[in-house]
Amino acid sequence: MTITLYDLAGAEDDRRFSPFCWRAKMALAHKSLPVEEVPWRFTEKDVIEFTEQGRVPVIVDGGNSGKAVWDSWAIAEYLDDAYPENLLFTEQSGKASTYFLKCWVERVVHPGIVRQVLMDIHNHLHEKDKDYFRTSREKVFGMALEDVVASAEESLPQFRASLEPMRAVLGRYAFMGGDEPAFADHIAFGPFAWARAISERKLLEAEDPIFAWRERMLDLYGGYARSSPGYES
Ligand SMILES: N[C@@H](CCC(=O)N[C@@H](CS)C(=O)NCC(=O)O)C(=O)O
C-alpha cells in the first residue's frame, strides 16, 4: 500500500524545495517505501485541512488504515515504529543527539540559507503563492524580501563559517549519522536540497567536506534527490 506525501511545490509541479519535506522524502526513500508525492502549494490549506494545521510535510499511510502524520520529526518517528527495517534513528546516531542536530540546523543553517536564497524562493513559486509568501515572510522578517537578501554576498563567508560543527563531524564520519546515513543526514541535507531546487548561488566551495557529503547525499537511494529538478553549484 502506498504512502501519500504532500510536498511543497513551486511554479512547476516537480520543483520541490521545502527543507522539511526533503527530510521526509529522504526518510521514505531510506526505507524504500512506495510513495505517491502530491505537489502542494502554500495557498492550498484546504487540501490538508484534515490535519488542522497548515504545514507540510504530511503523510497518509494507505498501508495503515490511512493514518495521517505531519511534522517531519513525527514522520521519522512514525516510520521507524511502523517500518523498523533500515532505522532512521540508528544506535550510532542516537535520538537525542539527532534532536540536538535538528535544533542546530533550524536555528543556524535554515536562517543562514534563507538570507542567501529568499528572493530565489519567491521567484520560483507558483503565481498563486507569491502574494501569500511575500506578505507572510515580510511580516516575519519585518522588512522587504529584497532587503533580507541585500547582504547575501557579504554574509556568505559567515554562513560557511557557521557550518564548522558539520565539518567536524564529517572529518570523522562519512555521514552526520556516523558510518551510514541516518535521519540526522536527512535533516542536515534538507536546507541544501531546498537551496539546490531554487537557487544558482554557490553556497559551498568544492573543496569543502560538506560539498562532498552533499554529493553523497544526492547519490543516495539511486540518486533520488539528484533526479529532482535543481541547479548544480
Ligand atoms: N515543524 C514542521 C515544519 C513544517 C513547515 O514549516 N513547513 C513549511 C514548508 S517549508 C510549510 O508548510 N509552511 C506553510 C506556510 O508557511 O504557510 C516540520 O518539521 O515538518
Report the pLDDT value the prediction gives residue 88, as an integer from 0 to 100: 98
From the CB of 93, is ligand 1 less than 6 Å away?
no
Q: Is 0.85 surpassed by the pTM of this model?
A: yes
Mean pLDDT value across the chain: 97
Report the chain's C-alpha Rg in angstroms: 17
Mean pLDDT of 124-143: 98
The fold adopted by the segment(s) 95-223 is: Glutathione S-transferase Yfyf (Class Pi); Chain A, domain 2 (1.20.1050)
Does residue 199 have its Cβ closer than 6 Å to ligand 1?
A: no
Task: Tell me if 16 CB under 6 Å of ligand 1.
Answer: no
Residue holding cell 552533499?
214
Give 56 Cα–ligand 1 centroid separation in angstroms.
5
> Is the model's pLDDT at 89 over the cut of 90?
yes
- The residues pairing with 9 across neighbouring beta strands, listed in sequence order, are 16
**Mean pLDDT over residues 57-72, rounded?**
97
Determine the pLDDT at residue 232.
86
Say how far apart CA 168 and CA 173 lie, in whole Å.
Answer: 9
Rounded CA separation 196/203 (Å): 9
Please provide the CATH number assigned to the domain covering 3-82. Answer: 3.40.30.10
What are the helix (H) ranges across 72-200?
72-82, 95-104, 110-124, 127-141, 145-148, 152-162, 164-170, 183-198
CA of 112 to the centre of ligand 1 (A): 17
Pairing of strands 58-61, 3-8: antiparallel
For the chain, domain boundaries: 3-82, 95-223
pLDDT exceeds cutoff 90 at 158: yes
Q: Which atom belonging to ligand 1 lies closest to the Cα atom of 45?
A: 17
* Atom 17 of ligand 1, residue of closest alpha carbon: 42
Three-state secondary-structure class, residue 73: helix
Q: What is the mean pLDDT of residues 189-195?
A: 98
Would you say the CB of residue 55 lies under 6 angstroms from ligand 1?
yes
Decide: 71 in ligand 1 pocket, CB within 6 A: yes
